[in-house]
């Protein structure tokens, strides 16, 4: 699923990424990445260390 791809990209990068960078890394549309990130943050698997950047927990 998209959430797994997004989480894998965040883990792999090791540094906080913007959703557009995640979209580029995964090949998914940005809207899908935004939705996946929102769910990952809600589930506690990702966080936003600074505005508009996301990282795996």
**pLDDT for position 1:** 85
- pLDDT averaged over consecutive 10-residue blocks of the chain (57 residues)? 95 96 97 97 96 96
So what's the pLDDT on residue 51?
Answer: 95
CA dihedral 10, 23, 30, 55 (to 10 degrees): 10
């Amino acid at each position: 699923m998209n959430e797994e791809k997004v989480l894998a990209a965040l883990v792999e990068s090791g540094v906080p990424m913007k959703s557009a960078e995640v979209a580029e890394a995964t090949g998914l549309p940005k809207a899908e990445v935004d939705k996946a990130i929102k769910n990952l943050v809600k589930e506690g698997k990702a966080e936003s260390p600074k505005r508009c950047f996301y990282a795996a927990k």
